[in-house]
Structure 1
Amino acid sequence: MAAPGGPSAEEFDADRDCHFIKEVLEGIERKGSFNEVQDAAKVDRTLSLVRVFSKRSADQRAVIVRRYNSLHDKYLAVEIKEKVEPGPLQNCLLTLLRPSAINDAVWLHAAIAGLGTDEGVLIEILCMRTPQELVDIQAEYKSMFKRELMNDVMGEFNALSQLRELLIGLLGMPRKTTPADPEAAHQLAEKLHKAGKGLFANTKKFVTVFTHESHDMLKAAFQKFKELYGLSMESFLDRELKLHSRLAQGLKFIASCAESRYGMYADLIHDALNSSPPNIAGVERSMLCRLDTDMAHIKEQYLKKYDVSILDAIKIRISDPTLRKVLVHAIHESEDSNPYH
């Protein structure tokens, strides 16, 4: 069954999909760069792989992956890497093939591995995923890399880092599931205001509250905070945690998700598209990984917040014609409803 909000195929036939995918892959000629392929028909034919994958649910794509290996004695991901040039099309296809938890594990490992740490990616993924998604990510990370994600994250930061404490808290501290309570929300709002005032903010209090309280309680507390102090939680964090900018960024991600997870993803897509040049990796993380869950809601929020559709934003901001087509097909905005065309 397709995931809620995800694409479905009324007459799903894994064998038919696998044979079509094999036919397309065998017809691709690698010529240094995908954009150097001059045959427009071949370009569109290759893009049909994106249409096939994006119009199948995550469960159906998993069936395709297993069936392809059975029919052709070759892993589909390996064949895509061999036949499709590295770049936006290959990245899109591989992202669509993998479950979201595996994608997140891969992106987190890339953010940690090698010299330096991409703190922005760690914050984006760990602060925006649900408790169950974080459990799944940690399991996939351990399965793929034979390491504990929490230990790897701990090793990337100074022991006194408050951002470290926030990320570890998200990975290890069980979040409450209690519903919103007006009186408790009022008390929590007052505690957060007190924690931020004074010469030195009580960052530990922020970390504990933001990693432990339920999202419903946080949302109610942030609403009460604005009623009491005339300031959004995001603005308060910016003002009071100037000396802890990365921690403030993570806390703001959590606050925004508690208030509107769909709106936060819309913001990430908007920021990625409107950076100079567009942050394609950010678009992939924020857009492709949500196709099977809440992309329809994210599209609605994007239009509401920015008065332009995601489709039009892609057309305006993405100059590369192939990448533009990849993203348009991936979010199901192609005028052609037949994935085999």
Structure 2
Amino acid sequence: MAGIKGGTIKPYSGFSATEDAHKLRKAMKGIGTDEDAIIDILVNRNATQRQEINIAYKTSVGRDLLSDLKSELTGNFEDVILGLMTSITLYDVRELKKAMKGAGTDEGCLIEILASRSTEEIRRINETYKLEYGKSLEDDICSDTSFMFQRVLVSLSAGGRDQGTHVDDALAKQDAQDLFQAGEKKWGTDEGKFLLILCARNRNHLLKVFEEYHKIAKKDIEASIKSEMSGSFEDALLAVVQCIRNKSAYFASRLYKSMKGLGTDDNTLVRVMVSRCEIDMLDIRAEFKKMYGKSLFSFIKGDCSGDYRKVLLKLCGGED
């Protein structure tokens, strides 16, 4: 299973929050900004240390670090640095809000966060969302999405997945049969049955269900979802299946899609790099190489430029 190698950003040894705060002030004071100094400090500290720098900056410099960074930086470079300066739960919350704000919805962002976060992470996201915006995440999902896509997001945002590891073989066979009856075997699809099973059962149990499903349907569950569902609902269920099977591979594919073809989906690229750099970026990197035959490092190098590229390459943590 993926998730054994961990992240690329580690705690910095010999760390002094006050010293870093003064160096950052120096990098931003006067005319021009020393971007390299900002990168050198903030990208080489872990999330906890960055939060300490934030406090030390206020205490010993008497200014707000985020405001100073915002006024000095621009574009994607600003986005990735401010992302790193935000606590991980609040970062997810703000990304979800941004995905639903204004005209149009970034369905990919909603799916990515809600399908890949643990039950505990979802619980924290819900609490923080309510505190930050005075409305529940579910309310915003309901006012911004519709039909089956809304239902799958509401299911995922409830964070009700069984956290156990027990596999009930008889139930796994029954679940596989139910999914087959609800999809391939049926004229029209019983989407509710897919939701009930895919959003509630524990990971080990679902892996067994997928195995049993293959025996009955003579095809993979992903192939069935592709032929039975469509649009964002299809994308959401596929993301759930992929995250259950191999979360690091799921994120590798998100990164690949954000950079392939014309133009870059910088929002997705920044979000995945920032949110996974301390969790499983080494695993994502390994999956990326396995899946696409080229390193994530070389992809970023060829796709991005300037200070933005420098930060992403550091978060990537190496060439292999």
Tell me the TM-score normalized by structure 2: 0.91
Aligned-residue offset at 1:262 = 0.7
Which residue of 2 is the match for residue 97 of structure 1?
A: 85
Which residue of 2 is the match for residue 309 of structure 1?
A: 295
Work out the CA distance in 2 between the residues paired with 1:122 and 1:248.
13
Q: Show the 5 A alignment for 1:90-239.
A: 90-158=78-146, 161-172=147-158, 174-179=160-165, 180-197=167-184, 198-239=186-227
Work out the CA distance in 1 between the residues paired with 2:267 and 2:44.
22
Q: Show the 5 A alignment for 1:11-160.
A: 11-27=14-30, 29=32, 45-84=34-73, 86-158=74-146
Distance 1:135 1:81, change over 3 A: same
> Sequence identity, in percent?
23
Amino acid aligned to 2:238 = K
Per-residue deviation, residues 199-218 of structure 1 (Å, max 9, x unmatched): 21000111111211112222
Work out the CA distance in 2 between the residues paired with 1:71 and 1:125.
36
Amino acid aligned to 1:183 = A
Work out the CA distance in 1 between the residues paired with 2:316 and 2:43.
7
Per-residue deviation, residues 252-272 of structure 1 (Å, max 9, x unmatched): 000000000011011101110
Amino acid aligned to 1:195 = A
Contact 1:102–1:137 under 8 Å retained in 2 = yes
Work out the CA distance in 1 between the residues paired with 2:52 and 2:163.
33
Query: How many residues are paired up?
Result: 312
Which residue of 1 is the match for residue 3 of structure 2?
A: none
Aligned-residue offset at 1:108 = 1.1
Whether 1:279 and 2:282 are equivalent positions in the alignment is no
Which residue of 2 is the match for residue 298 of structure 1?
A: 284
Per-residue deviation, residues 72-104 of structure 1 (Å, max 9, x unmatched): 1222111101122x2011111100001121111
Work out the CA distance in 2 between the residues paired with 1:281 and 1:95.
11
Structure 2 gaps of 5+ residues are 1-5
Distance 1:51 1:265, change over 3 A: farther
Aligned-residue offset at 1:173 = 5.2
Per-residue deviation, residues 110-146 of structure 1 (Å, max 9, x unmatched): 1112223222221222122221111111222122222
Whether 1:325 and 2:313 are equivalent positions in the alignment is no
SS at match of 2:199: helix
Whether 1:252 and 2:241 are equivalent positions in the alignment is no
Contact 1:126–1:167 under 8 Å retained in 2 = yes
Amino acid aligned to 1:208 = L
Contact 2:296–2:316 under 8 Å retained in 1 = no
Distance 1:26 1:230, change over 3 A: farther
Amino acid aligned to 2:277 = L
Contact 2:111–2:236 under 8 Å retained in 1 = yes
Structure 1 gaps of 5+ residues are 30-41, 335-341
Distance 1:17 1:194, change over 3 A: same
Tell me the TM-score normalized by structure 1: 0.86
Aligned-residue offset at 1:163 = 1.0
Amino acid aligned to 2:46 = S
Which residue of 1 is the match for residue 13 of structure 2?
A: 10
SS at match of 1:78: helix
Contact 1:55–1:332 under 8 Å retained in 2 = no
Distance 1:184 1:178, change over 3 A: farther
Distance 1:275 1:50, change over 3 A: farther
Distance 1:50 1:142, change over 3 A: farther
Aligned-residue offset at 1:27 = 4.9
Aligned-residue offset at 1:186 = 2.3
